[in-house]
Amino acid sequence: MTIRTIAILGAGNGGLAAAADLTLQGYAVRLYSRSERTLEPIRERGGIELIEGEKKSFAELSAASTRIAEVVPGADVVMIVAPAVAHAGLAAALAPLMNEEQILLLNPGHTGGSLHVASVLRGLGVKAKICETVTLTYICRAVAPAAVEIYRRTSNLRFAGFPGKATEDLTRAVSELYPAVVPAENVLETGFSNINAIMHPAGMIANAGRIEAGEDFFFYSDITPAIARVIEGVDRERLRIVERIGLPPLSFVELFHRAGLTSDSARASGSVYQAIRESAPNRAIKAPRTLDHRYVHEDVGYGLVPMAEFAGALDIETPVMDELIASASAMNAIDYRREGLTLEKMGLAGFRQKDLATMLHQGF
């Protein structure tokens, strides 16, 4: 298919970067946000300033609207660039607007995102061509209203469709936008490679006191050996699940390196501590100022919870994940086990391991 028009749902860091980048590539981009306050400066300036390296560019968007029905119809690609907690609501809003020719791209899918969105759409009688990236296509931050800086573009970007039988065609189409996409076996391979879910919860929980006290520190480069060891524990448990369902058992350090996020020497060492300390694209990123943040809500509720749900169904123990989920739930007074992404919400309640690969390939 020929892609001309792209609807981007979400105007956070990633949404702004995608809208500006793809506009400057020559696509007609329509941006949706539920926040009028977020879109107002974009409308006032007529677009988004993009900073990358030493270069500043200005992208004039086709449209910016708080009405999803004004941006989705007629778009060749509908791209969700929003926290996983927004997936269900956006899927429900998209149901009456999508047609079967449109590509629905989750950038990224987090863990189980495509399954969750497909399950919501199926419940509303809608089928769609759904695909996801393993992580966000950009390391970026909004630096001012209507301005975003891209520090790095993600490399070796694993990508999968749901159903999996559509992955080849979808990879061919989406590679026009993002040449770094590499086809994965299925959406569990991308979902279980969710580096944010592996990495962020330990740092947020261990630094909860510093965050609540308003300390100014670097979330990644100020990592401590103890936090790194907790991340290693999460990764060991994740790898047991990955091996059980027959997917490539790539370590966190390997995934981090393949995404272009750390040094060759860190990859060779196999050290989580060294890999995060030597992450040049993440070096300048400060810690969140609050625990009411997607590093907890998303990376626990929609990262660790679905991983632990799979583990429970496969009789695999995950004590480190379980402790992080319990601690995050207590800290934020949110039951992430209940509010997060469960097997039932992914349409996989009572799944049988022997049928899983076929279902992922064929779809619901």
Residue positions annotated with a catalytic role: 200, 299
Contact 216, 286 (CB under 8 A): yes
Phi/psi region, residue 228 (left: phi>0; alpha: psi -120 to 50; beta: rest), is: alpha
Contact 134, 111 (CB under 8 A): no
> What span, in angstroms and rounded, lies between the C-alpha atoms of 204 and 347?
30
Q: Calculate the alpha carbon distances from 6 to 74, 142, 153 in Å.
A: 9, 21, 19
Specify the pairing of strand 63-65 against strand 28-32. Answer: parallel
Beta bridge partners of 147: 49, 144
Q: Calculate the alpha carbon distances from 163 to 19, 347, 349, 358 in Å.
A: 27, 13, 18, 10
**CA distance from start to end of the chain:** 24
DSSP state of 139: E
> What span, in angstroms and rounded, lies between the C-alpha atoms of 36 and 167?
36
Read off the tokens for 101: 């020719």
